[in-house]
Amino acid sequence: MPPDAALWVDGVATQQSGADRDFVSPPLTPGQTFTYELKARWMQDGQPVEKTLKVDVRANETSRADFMR
């Protein structure tokens, strides 16, 4: 994601910045899938861009979201 993008996880603003950001979820029940909604907002070529992604996560696994696709 653009390094200066604002990012929200399930509607809560985050404080991290940079192109790559890491988050750790609360403990998750093994065998279940949980979904987080990520929303990013930034300026590109003088125009506002906003993208929302739904990311499935599971206990003891890593999930990735790519806002630049």
Where do the structural domains in the chain lie, given as residue ranges? 1-14+30-64
Q: What is the Cα–Cα distance from 53 to 46, expressed in whole angstroms? A: 23
Q: Per residue of the chain (69 residues), what is the pLDDT tens digit?
A: 999 999 999 999 999 999 999 999 999 999 999 999 999 999 999 999 999 999 999 999 999 999 988
